[in-house]
A and B are shown apart, each in its own frame.
Chain A
Amino acid sequence: MNASNDSADLEALFDSIASDYAPAVPAAAAPVAPPVQAAPVTAVGDSDDLQALFDSVAAETQASVPETCAEGGDDWPKQEAVFNRIGHMARALHDTLGQLGYDKVLEKTMAVLPDAKDRLAYVANLTEQAACRVLNATDIAGPLVDDIENSSRALGERWDKVFANQASTEEFKLLAAETRAFLKEQLPQKTQATHGQLTEIMMAQDFQDLTGQVIKKIVSLAQELESGLMGLLIEVLPETKRTEEVASLMNGPVVNAEGRTDVVVNQEQVDDLLDSLGF
């Protein structure tokens, strides 16, 4: 098997790439890593693992498509360029991660991400339940309040008749009795039931305590992940790519509008914008 030959080639390739690349890694690496020329292969602890991975990949490639490698003809230089680039990127990424200690950060983060997903699902679940409880409560309380309003108005109109001397003594007596019953029974019953629904609405807010704790944990996780990835991106991304903005029409709510001129913060601004455009 000539896999070992091949991996020696690969190794040489990576070495040359790494030494090419190393001077381009700016001073940021200095506090952590040994000087640039020494860095490439031997310095990083788990380059053995990496080596093994490359070996196995190389062996597979060798076994499955022998012709391509042996007598590639005109196509090979192109493919080689692609493989070179990929090898270049993989090594650069690996070395940078190792040198900056991000491999450990990322490893830790990857381990807690599934947990974060569960936590967010829990938040979505609790908030949905709360929304349902509140909407149910308003559905129940609404008709109760409507009843109180309608009954009061009906009684009031009948009392207007009494005061206008348009009611008989019998009607007056009946009205007085009904009003008494309304005040002593129907009204307190309905206000108590409404109060019960208000309590239900209040209690439905208990999710905030639970989701608040969960969200705080996820925010700190996201911050760790962000700073790790940002540092990594700054290391490996060419200068010109750094400022390219992601343009999309589906961004969801604007969480922080401060200092942004491309978003509106209230309905007035929406209306003004549309007016200014003649819509």
Chain B
Amino acid sequence: MAADPKMRFLVVDDFSTMRRIVRNLLKELGFTNVDEAEDGAIALQKLQGGGFEFVVTDWNMPNMDGLTLLQTIRATPNLKHLPVLMITAEAKKENIIAAAQAGASGYIVKPFTAGTLSEKLNKIFEKMGQG
């Protein structure tokens, strides 16, 4: 499935630099409809407002961390279909397993490259197309 360039992304990270980098990379991949949230709690508020089709989130954040955000999304009927890609510095195997079990659509460890982001997004789009 060719991804819709108008697809609306929510980038969740407590560091503005990281949000800006992810936003720029998404722009280079053709996705310009991007909003940002600085932690899981704010992200959840924005998601409840509706209109988002893709979530890219960090793990370690104040107020609500990325795993809790993911679990909450999966437990919320009107959000649970959303693809959630985790981009995080957490590199323990149990982190990756916990994220996968919680229903993450993809897992990228920092530091990462533009190529990795593109590859993981495409993989998720493919799966969405099949499903």
Contacts and interface: CB of A to CB of B under 8 A. Distances in A.
Contact of A250 (B24, B60, B93, B109): B60
Interface string B87-98: 001111111111
Interface string A238-267: 000000000001111110010000111111
Contact of B96 (A251, A257, A273): A273
Interface residues of B, number: 25
A215 to B, nearest CB: 18
Interface residues of A, number: 23
A274 B96 contact: yes
Chain A interface main SS type: loop
Contacts, number: 62
Given A135-B17, A263-B91, A253 B100 contact: no
A252 B89 contact: yes
A249 B109 contact: no
A252 B60 contact: yes
19 contacts: A249-B92, A250-B59, A250-B60, A250-B65, A251-B92, A252-B60, A254-B89, A254-B91, A262-B93, A262-B94, A263-B91, A263-B93, A264-B93, A267-B116, A270-B107, A270-B109, A274-B100, A277-B97, A279-B100
Interface of A: 128, 131-132, 135, 138, 249-254, 257, 262-267, 270, 273-274, 277, 279
Ranked 8 nearest A-B pairs via Cβ? A253-B89, A131-B17, A279-B100, A250-B60, A254-B91, A263-B91, A264-B91, A263-B92
Interface of B: 17, 20-21, 24, 59-60, 65, 67, 89-98, 100, 107-110, 112, 116
